[in-house]
Amino acid sequence: MDQNSFFFQAMVYLAAAVVMVPIAKRLGLGSVLGYLLAGVIIGPAALKFIGQEGQDILHFAEFGVVIMLFVIGLELEPELLWKMRKSIIGLGGLQVLVTAILFTALGIGFGLLWKQALAMGMILSLSSTAIVLQTLNEKGLMKTAAGQSSFSVLLFQDIAVIPMLALFPLLATSSPIATGDHASSTLVSGLPGWAQTLVVLGSVAAIILAGRFLIRPLFRIVAATRLREIFTAASLLLVVGIAVLMTQVGLSPALGTFLAGVVLADSEYKHELESDIDPFKGLLLGLFFIAVGASIDFNLIMQQPLLVLGLVALLMTVKAVVLFILGKVFKLAIGPNIIFAFALSQVGEFAFVLFSFSLQEGVLPKETVDLMVAVVAISMALTPLFLLINEKLIQPRIGTKESVEERGADEIEEKNPVIIAGFGHFGNTIGRFLRAHNVKMTILDNNPDRVDLLRRLGFKVYFGDATRYDLLHAAGAANARIIIITIEPADKRLELIETIKKHFPHLRMLVRSTNRFDAYDQMNAGMLHIYRETLDTSLRVGVDAMKFLGFRTYAAQRAARMFFKLDEANLKKLSSIRDRDQYIVEARAKMEELELTLKSDLQQITEMKDTGWDEETLIEEFNQPKS
C-alpha cells in the first residue's frame, strides 16, 4: 500500500466514523451500530471504498479487543477477579459447554461430519467481547449484574479459545492447506507437550512477576521524564509486547494483556495507563466494527437470503435461550437476565480467526466458512439493535430497572467521596488529616517519586496531571462528592476548575489560593470555598506575638479570628468593586490593594470590641444618681 492510498484509506475510515457515529448516537442507536453502518456504507455493498483488504483490516483491528481487555483488567483488581471466580467458571463454563454441545448436535443434524460439527459448535459458542462490552459500557450497564455476568462469560470464553486452538488440528477432515500462517507457527510448536505447557505457565508467571516488580519502577523512570508521549509509547509497548509474547507461546494475546491489566490494577499508574491507552482502544475498536460492517457479504445474502437469515435466527435463538436458562440458574432477576441473554447471543470476532484457522487446518470447507462468516457478521450487527429494542420496548414492561438491581458480591468497588488534586505540602496535610478520620480519598499527583513514596506508606495515590478530563473521570470524579484542589501553579488550578465546572458540575470544589489576587480570580470563576494558603499561619504568628507581649491568649485568639472573618468579608467586598482588567495590568495594583486593606482594617477593628464583657456602661449607669 503506497502512502497516498494509505492516507486515502485512513480518510475514508475516519470520515465514515465521524459522519455515522454521531448520527447513530443522535438516533439513540449507540456507537457500535454507527460504526457497523459506516462499514456497510463504505464496504463492497454500497460505496465500494473497501474491498477484499477489509479482511486484513479486520485482523489488524482485532488488536483493539486486546487493548480493551487490558483496560478491563486495569479496572479489575485481583480480589475482585477472585470474587467473580464462581460466575466465570460456573456460568462461563456451562455456557460454552452447553452451547457447543447443542450446536454440534445441530451441525450433525444439518449433515456435517461430527468433527466438522464439533468445530462449528465450539466456534459458535463464543460471543463478541468487543461488541458486548462496548455496547454495555456505553449504556452504563457494565457494573450491573447483567454486565458482570456477561463479562464473566466473555472472560471464560477467552480462556476457552486456547484449548480450542489446540484441538482444531485434530479435527481435520481434509489435509491442511499449507500456508505457513503465523497462527500455526509459534515458538513452541516444535516442543513436546510437557515443554509447551511449561513455557505457557512460565510466560504467565513472567507477566505476573514483571507486572509486580519490573513494570512499576520502569514506568516511574518513564514518568520522571515528564514527556507524555513517551509514557504513551511505553504503555503501548507494554500491551504490544505482551501480545507478541502470548502469540509466540500460543496463548491468546487478549488473555495475556488482561492478566497484565489485572496485575497493574492497583498500581499508581493505573489511571495514567488507562487514559493513555484508551484513545487507541476506541479507535481500533471503531475500526474493527467498521471492518465487520464492511465484511458483511450482501451478495451471499442476496443469493440465499432465507438460508442466511434462517441460520442467523436459529443461532441467536439457541444462544439466547441457553444464556437465559443459565442466567436463571445463576439467580439473575428477569430484567438483567434478558439483557444478559440478548447481549451474548451473537457469535464473536474470534469466529473469524477460528474459521480461517479451520479452513487452513482443513476442518471446514470454504463454502461453509463463507456462509458462516456472513452469518456471524450479521449476528454481531444485530446485537446492539436487539439491546436497543430490549431497552426501549421490553425492559419498561418488566419494570425492573437494571441499574438499581446491583448484585452485592460482583460489584465494582465504590469510588471514594473525596479527590485530592495535588499532594504537595499543602495537599498532604489535608490528606493526612482526612485519613486519620477514615475519610476515603483518591489522590492525584504528578510527582512520580512522591507517588511512589506515599504508596509505600499506604496512601492511595495515582500519578497524572489532574487537569485532564480523562484522568479525573478515571479517578471517579463522576461519583465523588468533594474535590480539594491544591495543585500548583495558580493558573493550573483555574484550568482544573474550568474542567470540573464543565464535566463534573456536581463536585464541590475546595480550592487553595496563593494570595488575594489568586483568590479574586477564583471568585470570578465562581468558587465559593477558597483557602488562602498563608492567611491562617500568618495570623497564628500574630497571636503568638501578642501573647509574648503580654496579651491574654484568649483575647489574642479572638482578635485573630475576628481579623480573619473581617479579612474574608473584605476580600469579597473588594473583589466586587475592583476593576479586573485595570488591576491585572497595573503593577502598583498590589500596593493599592494593601492600602485599601489596611485602611478598612483600622476602621472596622475599632468597631469590634467584645462589649458583652465590658462593664463600663454598666458602671456608668449604676453610679448615676437615681431620679
C-alpha cell at 570: 473584605
CA torsion angle for 88, 91, 95, 101 (degrees, to 10)?
Answer: 110
Count of other CB atoms within 10 angstroms of residue 242: 27
Q: Is 542 in the site for other proteins (CB under 8 A)?
A: no
Q: Is 552 in the site for other proteins (CB under 8 A)?
A: yes
CA 504 to CA 312: how far, in whole Å? 43
Q: Least Å distance between CB 567 and other proteins? A: 19
Residue 587 or 618 with smaller CB distance to other proteins: 618
Task: Please give the angle made by the CA atoms of 365, 121 and 338, to the nearest 5 degrees.
Answer: 135
CB 121 within 8 A of CB 104: yes
CA torsion angle for 555, 560, 561, 563 (degrees, to 10)?
Answer: 120
Q: Is 622 in the site for other proteins (CB under 8 A)?
A: yes
Q: Is 436 in the site for other proteins (CB under 8 A)?
A: no
The residue range among 60-68, 121-129, 269-277, 546-554 that interacts with other proteins, by the rule CB under 8 A, is 546-554
Q: Is 624 in the site for other proteins (CB under 8 A)?
A: no
Choose which of 91, 245, 312, 556 interacts with other proteins (CB under 8 A): 556
Residue 548 or 613 with smaller CB distance to other proteins: 613
Q: Least Å distance between CB 415 and other proteins? A: 34
Q: Is 551 in the site for other proteins (CB under 8 A)?
A: yes
Q: Which helix (H) or strand (E) holds 441?
A: strand 441-445
Residue 506 or 552 with smaller CB distance to other proteins: 552
Q: Is 554 in the site for other proteins (CB under 8 A)?
A: yes
Taking Cα atoms as reference points, which of 1, 37, 30 lies closest to residue 16? 37
Choose which of 18, 409, 594, 619 interacts with other proteins (CB under 8 A): 619
Q: Least Å distance between CB 616 and other proteins? A: 9
DSSP labels, 263-328:
HTTTSTTHHHHHHHHHHHHHHHHHHHHHHHHHH--HHHHHHSHHHHHHHHHHHHHHHHHHHHHHHH
Site string for other proteins, 367-406 (x = CB under 8 A): ----------------------------------------
Q: Least Å distance between CB 434 and other proteins? A: 20
Residue 607 or 615 with smaller CB distance to other proteins: 615
Q: Least Å distance between CB 621 and other proteins? A: 9
CA 43 to CA 296: how far, in whole Å? 8
CB 370 within 8 A of CB 391: no
Sheet holding 508-513, edge to edge: 461-463, 441-445, 418-421, 482-485, 508-513, 529-532
CA 95 to CA 125: how far, in whole Å? 8
Q: Is 548 in the site for other proteins (CB under 8 A)?
A: no
Choose which of 3, 623, 624, 627 interacts with other proteins (CB under 8 A): 623
Q: Least Å distance between CB 398 and other proteins? A: 56
C-alpha to C-alpha distances, 41 to 19, 125, 277, 372, 540, nearest whole angstrom: 11, 29, 28, 21, 71
**Chain residues 210-239 in contact with other proteins, contact rule CB under 8 A:** none
State the helix-helix crossing angle for 253-263 and 228-248, rounded to 10 degrees.
Answer: 130
Site string for other proteins, 597-616 (x = CB under 8 A): -------------x--xxx-
Q: From the centroid of its chain, how far is CA 545?
A: 53
Q: Least Å distance between CB 560 and other proteins? A: 10
Q: Least Å distance between CB 565 and other proteins? A: 16
Q: Supply the Cα-derived Rg of the chain in whole angstroms.
A: 32
Residue 213 or 554 with smaller CB distance to other proteins: 554
Q: Is 617 in the site for other proteins (CB under 8 A)?
A: no
Q: Which residues bind other proteins (CB under 8 A)?
A: 551-558, 610, 613-615, 618-619, 622-623
